[in-house]
Amino acid sequence: DTEVTQTPKHLVMGMTNKKSLKCEQHMGHRAMYWYKQKAKKPPELMFVYSYEKLSINESVPSRFSPECPNSSLLNLHLHALQPEDSALYLCASSQGMEEGTQYFGPGTRLTVL
Amino acid sequence: EDQVTQSPEALRLQEGESSSLNCSYTVSGLRGLFWYRQDPGKGPEFLFTLYSAGEEKEKERLKATLTKKESFLHITAPKPEDSATYLCAVRDSWGKLQFGAGTQVVVTP
């Protein structure tokens, strides 16, 4: 089973709201990722967690706050977002940062009003 | 600097008309080349991983090949359900995936 699940599927939020995106995998993978994808562009890496520790932050604004509560779960907390943050947010996981294939979840379509 | 270039940007095929997509890359020490298929509004779906020049992998109507500088994704006798954007990515020395811009494939009946 190579399934990564994400909730919610769709999210609409105002610029003053606080919301969270959730991601889960049960493949025993030790690396988990958040990507942002705009229309007709490839996924753009935001954060990488390796063994539940933040390994890479691609200079993402602080209004995005990642959290890895355990090896199977990854959250992305959102606060005071801008309309330009509207995008498809993808979670992925792999055996390790430098090994294995990254498997992606179905994504959360985020709209910021 | 690691770079991944995909061509063509878009490809329109008749059902049954075979073709190839190209992914050329420059990376210091290949740690894996990955092909994904992505439907609109959905997450990328894994297709193949290739690690060394000469390697080939096949799945239904798709076949991926790898040389020292590029990879090809061959689509044999495509069907309309093969319509999607095909993404190529290489893993860099940091373990991050560097994606190409993708090839949008449309197969018409």
pLDDT value of residue A77: 98
pLDDT value of residue A25: 97
pLDDT value of residue A1: 67
CB distance A90–B101 less than 8 Å? Answer: no
CA nearest A40: which of B23, B72, B22, B38? B38
B27 in Cβ contact with A26 (< 8 Å): no
pLDDT class for B93, splitting at 50, 70, 90? confident
Q: pLDDT of chain A along its 113 residues, tens only?
A: 679 999 999 999 999 999 999 999 999 999 999 999 999 999 999 999 999 999 999 999 999 999 999 999 999 999 999 999 999 999 999 999 888 899 999 999 999 99
- Angstrom distance (rounded) from CA A63 to CA A29: 27
The arithmetic mean of pLDDT across residues B83-107, rounded, is 95
pLDDT value of residue A36: 98
How many CB atoms are closer than 10 A to CB A30? 17
* Nearest-Cα residue of chain A relative to residue B85: A40
End-to-end CA distance of chain B: 41
Select the residue of B43, B96, B102 nearest A42 (Cβ to Cβ): B102
Select the residue of B95, B101, B102 nearest A98 (Cβ to Cβ): B95
pLDDT value of residue B1: 75
The arithmetic mean of pLDDT across residues B16-36, rounded, is 93
pLDDT value of residue B27: 84
CB distance A98–B43 less than 8 Å? Answer: no
CA nearest B72: which of B26, B18, B35, B17? B35
Q: Is some CB atom of chain B closer than 8 A to the CB atom of A106?
A: yes
pLDDT value of residue A75: 98
CA nearest A58: which of B44, B96, B87, B31? B96
Mean pLDDT taken over chain B: 95
User: Any bridge partners for residue B92, and if so which?
Assistant: none
* Nearest-Cα residue of chain A relative to residue B37: A104
User: Any bridge partners for residue B19, and if so which?
Assistant: B75
Compute the count of residue pairs across chains A and B with CB atoms less than 8 Å apart.
50
- Angstroms from B98 CA to nearest CA on chain A: 9
Cis geometry, peptide bond prior to residue B8 (ω within 30 degrees of 0): yes
- Angstroms from B75 CA to nearest CA on chain A: 21
Question: Which A residues, 69 through 88, put their C-beta within 8 Å of a C-beta on chain B?
Answer: 88
* Nearest-Cα residue of chain A relative to residue B45: A104
Q: Which of B99, B103, B104, B105 to mutate to test the interface with A (most CBs of A within 10 A)?
A: B99
Q: Is some CB atom of chain B closer than 8 A to the CB atom of A98?
A: yes
Please classify residue B51 by burial: count the beta carbons closer than 10 Å to its beta carbon, then call 0-12 exposed, 13-18 middle and 19+ buried. Answer: exposed
Residue indicated by tokens 């690690």: B51
The set of residues, in sequence order, having a beta carbon less than 8 Å from that of B106 and lying 6+ positions away, is B10, B11, B12, B13, B83
pLDDT class for B92, splitting at 50, 70, 90? confident
B81 secondary structure, DSSP code: G
Q: Is some CB atom of chain B closer than 8 A to the CB atom of A60?
A: no
Digit-coded pLDDT (tens) for B55-90:
999 999 999 999 989 999 999 999 999 999 999 999
